[in-house]
Amino acid sequence: MNKRIDSIDILRGMSIIGILFMNIVGFHMNEVYTDPLVYFNSTLDQWLYKLNIIFIHNSFYPIFAFLFGFGLAIMAENIKGRGGNFIPVLYRRMAALLVFGLLHGFFLFYGDILNVYAVIGFVAIVFLLFPNSITLIAAIILIVLNMMRALPSMFAIFMQPDFFGKELVSFETSQNEWIKVMSSGNLSKIIQYNSDFFYQGFAIINPGTTLSYFLTIMPFILLGMYVKRANLLKEITEHKVTMFVISIVFAFVGITLKYLMIAYEINAMASYDFIYYGGVLLSISYIIWVTLLCEYPAIKKLFEPFQRMGKMSFTLYIMQSLLMFIVFYVFRQYGQLSIAHVYLVALAIVLFQMIFTNIYFKKFKQGPLEWIWRKITYLK
């Protein structure tokens, strides 16, 4: 039986906070993704969103995907250690996750990620049957394919940054209707619009979306599996200086890629790949830093609130959507707040969840949704 790794829970807890700061902007006003630095044009809002882009945006979901794969490998090892067959158990787990994701996506948040993890998980689980080297090769192939897709546009932006400057795209009629509905307080209409938007991007029925997810998320799930099966996490603590130097280099390159998009005022759509790869490099640095810091008991103790959040990240993810739904749709704050106030809402949610988890784990060992998910997974 694998012992629970504290640094993994801490990373998962930090990631769920980072994902909240990404999701809450779209929950507040989906249209800002067209070009947020145009819509949020006050000096404070500009600076806050730029800091989000540099340090948070796309820097935490690669970690979450990595941890998802890491967790699948742990479960497979535990089941095999008990003499069981992990394939039906993990497929049942993914089926349950898909149902949770569909309910979440249709009724609360069109940007649900659970259904994506479930769909990719059905494929990724197969790699646990193969030698670990095959898993690594598959991850590298997916990364290379995605780079081949991205490099031409990245090169074009690098050569002609002025051509891709930020620009306010005029609202289409459908966008105007979306804003009207989402700010109306009509919950049945809001859920209908949310469901329609979620359905359009649902991973199973949208080939383009599915391909994108397999190129951007699956590599990190596979890498998480590979790292666990190869027991590479200990390499970080056994080669502290080397890993720290690597993390500094990755962080520098990642931050630079993101900062260039801000410095040259590249529009949000064109800068996606720079933000993506910058986020990936920064996420690796975050993993290394947290793993190294957890070697110091005093610092590890300071991380306990994140650790508790990581232990029930599934429950907290759904709870975040429910709270944002109430704030922006029930209380009709959709599109009404500055980015500073949006982030204050996010901080309030984080503080509430930290207090909630602290109280909850004094009486229970698992989060409520984690408990239900486990019951479905093991049928007991």
One digit per residue, the tens of pLDDT, for the chain of length 380 reads 455 688 899 999 999 999 999 889 888 887 665 556 656 677 888 888 888 888 988 888 899 999 999 999 999 999 998 988 999 999 999 999 999 999 999 999 988 999 999 999 999 999 999 999 999 999 999 989 988 887 777 677 666 666 555 554 444 444 677 788 888 888 999 999 889 888 876 656 667 778 888 888 999 999 999 999 998 888 888 889 999 999 999 999 999 988 887 776 665 666 677 788 888 999 999 999 999 999 999 999 999 999 999 999 999 999 999 999 999 999 999 888 888 999 999 999 999 999 999 999 999 999 999 999 999 999 87
Domain assignment of residue 196, yes or no: yes
Domain assignment of residue 32, yes or no: yes
DSSP class of 65:
H
Domain assignment of residue 1, yes or no: no
Domain assignment of residue 203, yes or no: yes
Q: How many domains does the chain have?
A: 1
Domain assignment of residue 108, yes or no: yes
Q: Whole domain around residue 127: which residue ranges? A: 6-378
Domain assignment of residue 340, yes or no: yes
| pLDDT of res. 202 | 64
Q: Would you put residue 83 in left (φ > 0), alpha (ψ -120 to 50) or beta?
A: left
Contact 109, 194 (CB under 8 A): yes
Quickly tell me which residue has 């930020």 as its tokens: 166
Domain assignment of residue 316, yes or no: yes
Which of 248, 278, 247, 246 is CA-nearest to residue 260?
278
Tokens at 322, concatenated: 């429910």
pTM given for the model: 0.90
Query: In the 3-class helix/strand/coil scheme, how is 84-102 assigned residue by residue?
Result: CCHHHHHHHHHHHHHHHHH
| pLDDT of res. 147 | 85
